[in-house]
Amino acid sequence: MQNCTIFFLLALTFYISYIILSYYYSDAHTDWLEAGQDDIDIQSVNIQGNKSEIFESWNSCFTVEMMGIEDPEIFWKTFVVSSKKCDYQAGVRQLGIVTLKHKNKTKRVLFPKVFNTGPHNLFTIGVGRDIRAEKQFRRKMHKLGNNVTFVGADPVPHNGDLYSQIGNYFPLAIGGKSGISNARVLENSGYIDTDKIHIDVVYFFKDLLNVTNIDNLWFDAEGEEFANDFFDIFYENGKFVQSGIDLCQVNIEIHITSDVAHRKEEFMKFLKRIIQEKRFGVFFGDAFGHIRMYMFNYSSQYCLDKF
Ligand SMILES: *[C@@H]1O[C@H](CO)[C@@H](O)[C@H](O)[C@H]1NC(C)=O
Ligand SMILES: *[C@@H]1O[C@H](CO)[C@@H](O)[C@H](O)[C@H]1NC(C)=O
Ligand SMILES: *[C@@H]1O[C@H](CO)[C@@H](O)[C@H](O)[C@H]1NC(C)=O
Ligand SMILES: *[C@@H]1O[C@H](CO)[C@@H](O)[C@H](O)[C@H]1NC(C)=O
Ligand SMILES: *[C@@H]1O[C@H](CO)[C@@H](O)[C@H](O)[C@H]1NC(C)=O
């Protein structure tokens, strides 16, 4: 009888510990922990600064700060400083951009300013075995009455199990051009170099997914993806414009790998053209070994009306 009681108590203890532990590691617990921040972030939809004024002011500031620099190395180093300065001068915080953060992953988003605006999509290119920021975004959007369709792509297949929790997953590397090349990917053991099949970014969105609007694009590529004129998709009369793809918000990380000088040159060319064409705002420039930034398409009425 006594043995029975002890056994019962032990079993009960294990059971309760199991319940507590599984709750501790569950999304429900994380959602509960982050609920306070949600309340703050959701208020951002009420921040309605004058978009064209802020964008104009940002663009003038960046023109003065960056267009005169000719050396790619200096350009790369100056970018973060100038970005912080111009964000401040132009009053970019009056746009209501929210920061989602988990570990090393930082993403900026604008929520739709209108309640229940209809379909909304987010594309994660380069999942990197972490979807916490995506889950934060999904939860906050739910609270605002919006459902988000998620699509993820990453050449490392074990991202699939993870990403399938929130959306559709493709085991692919996305780049400026289709082909086989060397990609640096994050495996369990750390970064490794391996041959990867790249799919042309336009083919991916237009032919494979038949997408015409991209609300959020989160692009975290490790290297080669930026070769082959990848940045063309952001340009006036570039491949996205020609394909009728309307891109609103972009979080992009630009890594430096072995081809360092080359990458910094490309970055300078890219950013100068973005400033000159005056269609995208580039905010929250940040360096974490690599450069990351947030971009918004100010030439799109769809994007301006929605966010
Ligand atoms: C924003 O600012 C511009 C230029 O100053 C002005 O023409 C426009 O009316 C303003 N828009 C709103 C919604 O206040
Ligand atoms: C994350 O950040 C830490 C420093 O805070 C760094 O040591 C680590 O390498 C980073 N990890 C990745 C995957 O970037
Ligand atoms: C979002 O999804 C829920 C449940 O799947 C559905 O009831 C609701 O109508 C959807 N809302 C919108 C705006 O599509
Ligand atoms: C692509 O989407 C459009 C609507 O956005 C639709 O009219 C067209 O039939 C779709 N094409 C394919 C091949 O699914
Ligand atoms: C920005 O918006 C314009 C206007 O809708 C659109 O034509 C263009 O394709 C968008 N830019 C990019 C790079 O998607």
Largest CA distance in the chain: 87
pTM of the model: 0.88
Query: What is the 3-state secondary structure of 158-179?
Result: CHHHHHCCCEEEECCEEECCCE
> Which pLDDT score, from 0 to 100, does residue 123 have?
97
Question: How do residues 265-302 score in pLDDT, each as one tens digit?
Answer: 888 999 999 999 999 999 999 887 788 999 999 999 99
CA of 61 to the centre of ligand 1 (A): 19
CA distance 35 to 109: 17
Looking at this protein, which amino acid is placed at residue 13?
A: T
Q: Which residues of 29-39 are buried (b: 16+ CB within 10 A; e: fewer)?
A: ebeeebeeebe
* Dist. CA 298 → ligand 3 center (Å): 29
Q: Judge whether 16 and 8 are in contact, CB under 8 Å.
A: no
Which bin fits 176, alpha (ψ -120 to 50), beta or left (φ > 0)? alpha
DSSP 3-state of 97: coil
Which ligand 1 atom is nearest residue 56's CA? Answer: 4
- Domain 47-306, what fold? Rossmann fold (3.40.50)
* Ligand 3 contact, 116 CB (< 6 A): yes
**Atom number in ligand 3 closest to CA 147:** 1
Please write the tens of the pLDDT for every residue from 13-66.
888 888 888 777 778 888 888 888 999 999 999 998 999 999 999 999 999 999
Distance 149 CA to ligand 5 centre (A): 20
